[in-house]
Amino acid sequence: MDPEAVAAHYRAEGYAVVRGFLDGEAVAALAGLADAVEAEALVHGRPFRHGNLYYDTRPGPPPRLRMAQWAVWHHPGLERFRTHPRYAALLAPLLGPDLKQIIHQIHWKPRGAGADFAWHQDSRSRRPRAAFRNLATSYVQTGLAIDPHDEASGCLRVIPGSHRLGELGLARDGPVLGRDIDDSDLLAHGLNPAAQVPLRLAPGDLALWSPFTVHASGENRSSHARRLLINGYVRAEDCDRGEWAFRAGRPVPLPEAPSLVHWEDLPNRPEPHHPE
Ligand SMILES: O=C(O)CCC(=O)C(=O)O
- What pLDDT does residue 173 have? 67
Distance of alpha carbon 116 from alpha carbon 181, whole angstroms? 6
Lowest mean pLDDT among 39-43, 58-62, 80-84, 183-187: 58-62
Per-chain mean pLDDT for the chain: 95
Spatial neighbors of 153 by CB under 8 A, at least 6 apart, are 109, 147, 220, 221, 222, 224, 226
CA-215 nearest atom, ligand 1: 7
228 CA distance to ligand 1 middle (Å): 8
37 CA distance to ligand 1 middle (Å): 18
Q: Which domains does the chain have, with CATH numbers?
A: 3-251 (2.60.120.620)
Lowest mean pLDDT among 51-55, 132-136, 171-175, 266-270: 171-175
Higher pLDDT, 61 or 220: 220
For residue 158, the one-letter residue type is V
Higher pLDDT, 276 or 177: 177
Average pLDDT over residues 86-98: 98
156 CA distance to ligand 1 middle (Å): 7
Higher pLDDT, 8 or 63: 8
Distance of alpha carbon 139 from alpha carbon 169, whole angstroms? 19
